[in-house]
Every structure is written in structure tokens, then in C-alpha cells.
A and B are shown apart, each in its own frame.
Chain A
């Protein structure tokens, strides 16, 4: 049978098998996300009763109850403004430091670089206890400041710095020299020449930083205790009845609301997003 097939047919058969295999492998990757959204529309009984992906009845009100059960809108806003702040500050801080490490000659440059890299070897869990007491001393526990400061200056910010440095190193020096001739200060060169030429690197840093902050869990858990100050990852598992039993339909509706915007942006800009991670992974 097989040897009767022409090479062309054989190639087609193998491609079909290949696609089939990949599709089966893909199930645990996509199904939970589809199922999460569909269950957000179900009531508690149906979630446990039927494995069907299409809800029998569409309980749109779940998505309203999510906002009345706890201050979910507020929590959503917290996540949003914290992630935007972390991203903005990281972009400025890491591109400044990255520029200095790439372009400027100064005593101690390699030492600074070495110190920064060494920080990447240390898990955040190691320094989080002293950081907690540091924040406590300055009255910042149960505020959002630790959630902004620690990611900006932690290992994640260092990865961003090296990503920027690497990109600046690859830029042609001549344009900057020309800027210098035209009387631009060092800061002006950085702002008006180096940064505009590094849009791809800035975009990559912005993407990975935003997602990192949006998805952060340990830091909010430790530093934030009031419900109205929660960020999304903390809020999601907080939809429970007074005995602590999860209210699944609300948890899944809320989870969908927290994940869907990210996934939609991801689907639109998947190439850019995946490349950003590839870039940071190689450097990290």
C-alpha cells in the first residue's frame, strides 16, 4: 500500500499525520483557556454537571456579579496602573543604564555589569524577607509602591537593562557622533538619537515587563492585604463563600476577564510578543 503512493502523496500523508499529532498535542495548551471562558458563562450546577464546551444556558450575570462580589473594578484598575507604571519606569531606567554600559567609558563599567549579572542568579525569594522589613520601616506595606519598585530594580529590570545594552551596542555609532557635532548633550543624544533608533528593543522590554508585572503573584501576596488594594492574580482566588469554598462560576468569569484582554492582544501581535520573549530569554 505504502509503496504504491507517489512521493507527492507520501509527503501529503506525512503532513496530515504531522498536523494531526500537533493538534492532539495542542489540546492541553488551548483547551483550558477555552473551557475557562465557557465555564464563566455557566452556573455552578452546570460547571460540575456537564463537560460540554458550549454552555446550555448563558449566565451573563456572572460577569456582573464578579464586580459586585468584591471591588473587582478597583482591583482591575490596580493591576492596570501598576503594570503601566512599572513598564514606563523600567523603560527609562533600563535604557539609561543600558546606554551607559554600551556606549560610555568609565572606570568600573565591567564591575557594575558583573554585579548586575550576578543578581540574576539569586531568586527573588532570597531577598524578599529583608525587602519586606525595609518596606515596613518606610510604611509601604499594604501599598502599591513595593509592587512597582521591586520589579523595576529586581532581576527583571536587570534583564531589561542588558537587553537595551545589547541593542545599543549593535547600533551604528556614526549617527550619534553626528549628533554630538550638532551640539547635542549626552542626554540629548540618548533621548533624540539612541532611543528612537531602538524602538524594537524598547517594545520588547515593554511587552515582557508589562506581562511580568500583570502576572506577578508572590509580591502582591506578601505586600498587600486590603481587598481593595489587591491586584488581579490575588483577586481571582478570592471569590469564595464565607467558608472558603471557591465560587467556581465567579472565579472562572473573573479569570476570563483578566486573561482575555492579554490573549486578544497576544493573538494580534503574536509575532512581536514571541520575539520579545525570545530576545529576553537569550539574554536572561
Chain B
């Protein structure tokens, strides 16, 4: 090994760049390779992240294009003065609390049913995953239509069994439920395949050994499968939670935040404030608050998990 390194080094020295050591040369090459990514990161992520903090401390007058420093006024506005923020944060929380467990339970159930090998298993996996590759715009448009008032397809079907369905997306009691349900159906396939991959990685002997000892199906799941799925469950929980706070297109196209702002979630509110009303400072403060919420939730989930294991 040492020999090889020596010959390489002499070879490199003989061929070109006599003054560069091999390590320096390698570092230079590495920075060359990684420079597009680092440049993009600085320009489109790090810079904007600093900028959004600064924006959040200002108020913009769009007519005169003037920025005035206002300190924490935007945050005070969001957290104390303007009741909208808490209303919207509550909606986002309801959305997440409804979506995450529903999504994860369904994903796990489907994965348990589809992790084995039987005829049709590929067919069903393909079916349950199909909405994931479909665009959110298409999915929202079709469901918006299926869920219309009296003439909507879902209600026509319900009517045949004597149920008078609500106007799903216009009824404040049902709109949130409807967007959560359609979102879960759209995205659950992704978590399903992550669970299937994790289930298939569990050695068969564990279950067989437990079965020989007389364990029931439930006991095998509770004491073998579920604990072994722990890391996967954590990853899924974190990405699903973050995803649920980011939901935008779905809401924008299905309800537009209505009815009575009942589905006005954080990402949508930021969009409205920033790009419709051009309250740039306030919208930036909201963006920071959203970031803080997502971070806090992620950290809490990681900590809870660490305590458990």
C-alpha cells in the first residue's frame, strides 16, 4: 500500500504540476467538482436564508421601493396582534395531526399486506403508488371535481345508499377532512414502499423462531416487526410531518384556503402575504416562524425516539 502510494506520487510528480503535493491536488480537484453545488447552495439557499431573516426585520413600501427597519414588529404582529397567524398555525397543526397518523397507519397496513410474494402483489403495489407519480395539480383538479356538491360523483354514489353527502370542499366542517383524505391517498404510496423495503430487510428466521415458540401473529408484529421498523418509522414520521407543513399546491387548487379560511394553512398564508398582498416583511417573518416550527417538531421527534431506544 505504502509502495503503491509512493509510485503514484512519483508518477504524478514526474508527469505534471511538480510543486503540488498529491493531497493538495486532490483537494483542488474536489473543490472543482463540488463548486457548482456549493455556488448554487450559497446563491439560492444560504444567501436567501440570511436575506429572509433581514427582510423579516423590515417593512417594505412597494410604491417607493423603500425598506424600513422595524425590529421585531413583524413577529410581534404575527404572534400577538394579528389573530390570523394562530388561526393558520392551528389549521396547519390540524392538517398535520390528521394527516401524519392516517398516512403512516395506512402505509404500514398496505406494506404489511404487500411485502410478501403472491400473485397480484406487483399489481397492487403499482396501483397504490400510482398517485405519487401523478402531479398534485392533476390530482387536486380531479378530486375537486369528484367532491362537488350534489352533482359530484362521490355524493351521487353516497346518494344511492341513502346518504346525503355534504358539499365537501365548501362545508367548513368537512373541507379539512376532504383535503387530508385526498392528500393521504396521493402520498401514502411513498411511505408504503419505504415500509415494504424495511419489512423485506427483516430476516425471516426471526419470525420463524418466534412462531416455533408459539407466538401469535400479533405478538410477532408487536415484539419483533414493530421494534425493528423503528428507524424507518422515525424517518417516515419526520419527512411526513415536514411535508404536511409544506403542503401548498393541494390546498391552493382544491379549496383556495376556504371555506371561511378553514383550510388556510401556513405555506398558503405565506404565499398570500408575500406574493398576493406583497407584505414582504410580514411574510418573511412568517417564513422564519414556519421554519422554527418545522425544526422544533423534528428535534422533538428525534429526542422522543432517542429516549425510547
Contact = CB atoms under 8 A, between A and B. Distances in A.
Interface of A: 15, 18-19, 21-22, 25-26, 28-30, 32-33, 35-36, 39, 47-48, 51, 93-94, 96-97, 99-101, 104-107, 109, 112, 115-116, 119, 121-134, 149-150, 152-154, 157-158, 161, 180, 183, 186-187, 190, 211, 214-215, 217-218, 221-222, 232-234, 236-237, 248, 251-252, 255, 258-259, 262-263, 266-267, 270-271, 273-274, 277-278, 281-282, 284
B66 to A, nearest CB: 14
B44 A154 contact: yes
A121 B146 contact: no
Contacts of A127: 44-45, 48-49, 52, 287
B120 interface: yes
B41 interface: yes
Given A122-B49, A215-B136, A258-B138, A278 B271 contact: no
Interface size class of B (residues with CB under 8 A): 35 or more
A188 to B, nearest CB: 11
B36 interface: yes
A100 B33 contact: yes
B146 A284 contact: no
Interface of B: 8, 15, 23, 26-27, 29-31, 33-34, 36-38, 40-41, 43-49, 51-52, 55, 110, 113-114, 118, 120, 122, 124-139, 141-143, 145-146, 151, 153, 156-157, 185, 189-190, 193-194, 196-197, 235, 239, 242, 245-246, 248-249, 252-253, 267, 270-271, 274-275, 280, 283-284, 287-288, 290-291, 294-295, 298
B141 A255 contact: yes
A128 B45 CA distance: 9
Contacts of A237: 137, 141, 253
B245 to A, nearest CB: 7
A133 to B, nearest CB: 8
A157 B37 CA distance: 8
A19 B47 CA distance: 53
B44, B134, B138 — most chain A CB neighbours (10 Å): B138
A126 B197 contact: no
For the residues of B in contact with A, the DSSP-based class is helix
Contacts of A263: 130, 133-134
B275 A222 contact: yes
A35 B153 CA distance: 10
A89 to B, nearest CB: 9
Contact of A217 (B51, B252, B290): B252
A112 B38 contact: yes
19 contacts: A25-B110, A35-B142, A39-B145, A96-B37, A97-B34, A101-B34, A104-B27, A106-B26, A112-B38, A123-B242, A129-B48, A134-B47, A186-B33, A190-B33, A232-B137, A251-B141, A262-B135, A266-B133, A281-B194
Given A255-B142, A270-B126, 7 more contacts: A93-B37, A104-B29, A121-B298, A158-B37, A233-B137, A233-B138, A262-B134
A236 B157 CA distance: 26
B248 A96 contact: no
Contacts of B51: 130, 133-134
A129 B287 contact: yes
B153 A125 contact: no
B59 to A, nearest CB: 14
B45 A153 contact: yes
B76 to A, nearest CB: 19
B55 A130 contact: yes
B193 A274 contact: yes
B130 A29 contact: yes
Contacts of B45: 119, 122, 127, 153-154
A125 B246 contact: yes
Nearest to B143: A32
Contact of B145 (A29, A112, A190, A252): A252
B208 to A, nearest CB: 18
